[in-house]
Amino acid sequence: MNSRINHKNREALGITDFEFLTLFKKENEKVCFRLIQEEKHIAKKFDCILTLDNDLEYPLMQKIFIKYQKQGYGVYFVVNSGGQEKKSIKRINAHFIDMDFGKVPKIEGGELTKDSEGKIVYEYRTKEEIEEYKIAFLKKLESFKLNPNVIVETKNGFHVYWLLDHEKPQNLDVFTPLQEKLIYYFATFEERKEHADSSVKDINRVLRLINYKHLKNPKDPFTIKCIYLNTDIKYTQEDIAAAIGYNINELVSNTKSTEIKPVTVKA
């Protein structure tokens, strides 16, 4: 990675949330959002047209985001395009990983620790510990074969995106298998494999939107920020699979459909 990031002083790039969304979507495309109450886990779904020219579209959403943030809601967007549900997704915009260094399952005697109700007990790290893991991860990321296009810093880690070239063929069915391999690849370099969130594999996955706050602890909010942006190149699913040691045909053969679906929408 040709990093422009100061590992210890990661400043937010001067891009708006609208500009961030246009990295994934085209203008006047429908964008789907999910607002999630950080403590109660209540979710509300919204969508709008990605334009600033109509006050009833994205400018209205920005006001809604502010309103709900005051009520403890986090702001998320559906990374891929088409809708909120898996079956509604029509185009893959990126493959990505979610690194989280904030907590890990507690292990004693080589086994997971569970409470009286059978729930996993977690160990929570300090800010200083999380910072050490963040710096170490960014250094490891520099040696990965494919430069990421976007790195977003969250309170406890990073969202790392590799944008797809919409002019090249892509396979919707291979999204989840490729996500699983990508997540596992990065998990193997970590002290604890749980650092790479294994749940971020669904094609309708939501991730946090920049410039809005992480509010799981309202007394200690964190503004989500984009710290790295590289739009000089975009990738194919074949590129990503090859970078982690897989042939895309192997993943295709394990999916329901072997059809490679062409994408006609240009970014």
Rounded CA gap, 267 and 250, in Å? Answer: 28
Residue 143: what pLDDT?
94
Instruction: Name the band, by pLDDT with cuts 50, 70 and 90, for residue 1.
Output: low
Are the CB atoms for 207 and 225 separated by under 8 Å?
no
Query: Quick one: average pLDDT of 19-31?
Result: 97
HEC string for the chain? CCCCCCCCCCCCCCCCHHHHHCCCCCCCCEEEEEEEECCCCCEEEEEEECCCCCCCCHHHHHHHHHHHHCCCEEEEEECCECCCCHHHCCECCEEEEEEECCEEECEECCEECECCCCCECEEECCHHHHHHHHHHHHHHHCCCCCCCCEEEECCCEEEEEEEECCCCCECHHHHHHHHHHHHHHHHCCCCCHHHECCCCCCCCCEEECCCCEECCCCCCCEECEEEEECCCCCECHHHHHHHCCCCHHHHHHCCCCCCCECCCCCC
Residue 70: what pLDDT?
97
Query: Quick one: average pLDDT of 169-177?
Result: 96
Give the chain's mean pLDDT.
Answer: 92
Residue 259: what pLDDT?
42
202: its two tokens: 């669904």
Residue 215: what pLDDT?
96
Instruction: Name the band, by pLDDT with cuts 50, 70 and 90, for residue 37.
Output: very high
Instruction: Name the band, by pLDDT with cuts 50, 70 and 90, for residue 262.
Output: very low
More confidently predicted of 254 and 93: 93
Residue 110: what pLDDT?
83
More confidently predicted of 157 and 110: 157
Residue 112: what pLDDT?
86
- Asked whether residue 246 carries a pLDDT value surpassing 90, the answer given is yes
Query: Quick one: average pLDDT of 148-165?
Result: 98
Query: Quick one: average pLDDT of 229-257?
Result: 88
More confidently predicted of 209 and 248: 209
- Asked whether residue 256 carries a pLDDT value surpassing 70, the answer given is no
More confidently predicted of 266 and 242: 242
Query: Quick one: average pLDDT of 4-31?
Result: 94
Least confident of 30-44, 68-82, 177-191, 244-258: 244-258
Residue 111: what pLDDT?
84
22: its two tokens: 């246009």
Residue 261: what pLDDT?
44
Residue 4: what pLDDT?
66
Residue 109: what pLDDT?
83
Percent of the chain with pLDDT over 70: 93
Instruction: Name the band, by pLDDT with cuts 50, 70 and 90, for residue 260.
Output: very low
